């Protein structure tokens, strides 16, 4: 057990001393959970293999799943990566700081443990000002996966982190709720047409508007076929899975509520749009009517359903456009790809 300090940031300009301490802890190889605009991240000095090893231990993360390296200024890109295509600079200019992660060829400075032995590295510059300040104060680049225990939904507020990580990390920096709520878009830029490996708040259309053609990896919407190698190792692991059996239902609110009401029973819950709430005869959590709101609320709802002791959850499918693509991608994993078309 590590003793975990929890610091709360209300006003960044009054908290620079605390953020400096967080940066200093990172600089000496400690683990610090940092807030970002997407989800909370479990940070360590990306250039210190011993520190990075502690991330895998704290999360219970498989060693073959590489980490995203977070930087606070564009210069970090050239420090960590080589053979950087022009498209990467154009994307950085348009979407950084922000919820976009780029996979590029790595330089030797990035230890193999960060990239799980691949010759590539995932890089992102977060926009959250608290995250940026902590990275700046650390004087290094910060490797940070989502700060949840491996396999469960990513943390979108400090309460989630405190539950998962107390006793496992040196410090938790609490800056309230994450603005976006789903993890960053991951795009691979290794030559040929760029490929979206994980959808996020930067949508495929956003990417297209800057670099033209992009592909979406089939694993974004579908279960990885047996024997196929994952382009992003994270895609092959069970993710976002609450204890309850989650079933995703595709259909309008009227068809959805009819189906759910017909399946009412002990421990049965609904995860629905606001507009469906009044039609339901089972206990329900509503995650909003628009995709942005659903992105913000999804992970907290999945955790809440576990707290409520839900046994079966009928979830109303997100729309498959804009940031809805990211919500759909997370929810279909939570459902173990079990979808009923109504």
Sites of contact with Mg ion (CB under 5 A): 146
Q: Which is nearer to ligand TXA, 65 or 257 (CB)?
A: 65
Cα separation of 189 and 87, whole Å?
8
State the Cα–Cα distance between residues 340 and 313, nearest whole angstrom. 13
Largest CA distance in the chain: 58
Which residues have C-beta within 8 Å of that of residue 229, sequence separation ≥ 6?
none
Instruction: Report the nearest approach of Mg ion to the CB of residue 146 (Å).
Output: 3
Question: Measured between alpha carbons, how far is residue 318 from residues 125, 216, 297, 303 in Å?
Answer: 27, 18, 12, 18
| Under 8 Å between Cβ of 143 and 43 | yes
- The residue count for the chain: 342
User: Two tokens at 117?
Assistant: 């032995």
* Residue 241 interacts with ligand TXA (CB under 6 A): yes or no: no
Q: By CB under 6 A, which span of 141-149, 278-286, 305-313, 331-339 interacts with ligand TXA?
A: 141-149
Q: In the sheet that 245-250 helps form, which strands lie side by side, from edge to edge?
A: 284-286, 268-272, 312-316, 245-250, 339-341
- Total residues contacting ligand TXA (rule CB under 6 A)? 28
Q: What are the b/e assignments for 281-293, b being 16+ CB within 10 Å? A: ebebbbbbeebbb
Residue 36 lies near ligand TXA (rule: CB under 6 A): yes
The answer to the question of residue 219 lying near ligand TXA (CB under 6 A) is: no
Note whether 334 binds ligand TXA by CB under 6 A. no
**294 interacts with, out of ligand TXA, Mg ion, none, CB within 5 to 8 A per kind:** none
Q: Are 267 and 283 in contact (CB under 8 A)?
A: no
Site string for ligand TXA, 67-96 (x = CB under 6 A): xx----------------------------
Q: Is 138 in the site for ligand TXA (CB under 6 A)?
A: no
- Nearest residue to ligand TXA, by Cβ distance, number only: 234
Q: Find the helix or strand (DSSP H, E) in which 281 lies.
A: none
313 contacts 247 by C-beta, under 8 angstroms: yes
Quote the Cα angle for 37-38-41, to 5°.
Answer: 95
Q: Which is nearer to ligand TXA, 144 or 207 (CB)?
A: 144
Residue 257 makes contact with ligand TXA by CB under 6 A: no
284 versus 318: smaller Cβ distance to ligand TXA: 318
- For 61, the token pair is 């993360």
Residue 264: name the closest of 284, 285, 244, 250 by CA: 284
Using the rule CB under 6 A, is 39 a contact of ligand TXA?
Answer: yes
Task: Find the part of the chain contacting ligand TXA (CB under 6 A) among 45-53, 144-152, 166-174, 291-299.
Answer: 144-152
CB of 235 to ligand TXA, least distance (A): 6
Which part of the chain contacts ligand TXA (CB under 6 A), choosing from 166-174, 210-218, 230-238, 267-275?
230-238
Q: Minimum distance from CB of 154 to Mg ion (Å)?
A: 5
* Binding partner of residue 121 among Mg ion, ligand TXA, none, CB cut-off 5 to 8 Å per kind: ligand TXA
Identify which of residues 171 and 270 has a Cβ nearer to ligand TXA in the complex. Answer: 171
The residue ranges that bind ligand TXA (CB under 6 A) are: 36, 38-39, 41, 65-68, 99, 101, 103, 115, 118, 120-122, 124, 144-146, 183-184, 186, 197-198, 232-234
């Amino acid at each position: 057990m590590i003793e975990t300090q929890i610091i709360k940031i209300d006003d960044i300009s009054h908290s620079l001393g605390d953020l400096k301490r967080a940066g200093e802890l990172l600089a000496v190889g400690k683990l610090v959970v940092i807030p970002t605009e997407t989800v909370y991240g479990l940070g360590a000095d990306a250039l210190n293999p011993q520190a990075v090893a502690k991330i895998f231990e704290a999360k219970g993360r498989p060693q073959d799943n590489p980490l995203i390296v977070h930087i606070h200024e564009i210069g970090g890109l050239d420090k960590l990566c080589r053979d950087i295509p022009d498209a990467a600079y154009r994307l950085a200019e348009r979407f950084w700081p922000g919820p976009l992660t780029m996979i590029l060829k790595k330089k030797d400075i990035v230890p193999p443990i960060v990239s799980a032995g691949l010759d590539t590295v995932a890089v992102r510059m977060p926009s959250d000002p608290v995250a940026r300040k902590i990275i700046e104060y650390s004087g290094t680049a910060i490797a940070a996966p989502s700060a949840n225990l491996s396999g469960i939904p990513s943390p979108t507020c400090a309460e989630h982190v405190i539950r998962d990580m107390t006793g496992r990390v040196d410090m938790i920096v609490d800056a309230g709720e994450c603005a976006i709520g789903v993890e960053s878009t991951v795009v691979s830029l290794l030559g040929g047409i760029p490929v979206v490996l994980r959808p996020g708040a930067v949508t495929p259309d956003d990417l297209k508007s800057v670099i033209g053609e992009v592909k979406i990896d089939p694993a974004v919407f579908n279960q990885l076929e047996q024997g196929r190698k994952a382009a992003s190792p994270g895609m092959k692991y069970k993710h976002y899975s609450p204890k309850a059996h989650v079933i995703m239902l595709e259909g309008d609110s009227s068809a959805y509520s009819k189906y759910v009401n017909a399946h009412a029973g002990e421990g049965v819950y609904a995860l629905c749009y606001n507009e469906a709430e009044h039609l339901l005869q089972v206990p329900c959590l509503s995650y909003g009517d628009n995709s942005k709101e659903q992105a913000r609320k999804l992970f907290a709802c999945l955790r809440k359903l576990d707290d409520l002791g839900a046994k079966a959850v009928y979830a109303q499918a997100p729309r498959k456009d804009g940031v809805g693509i990211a919500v759909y991608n997370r929810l279909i994993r939570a459902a173990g790809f079990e979808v009923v078309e109504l």
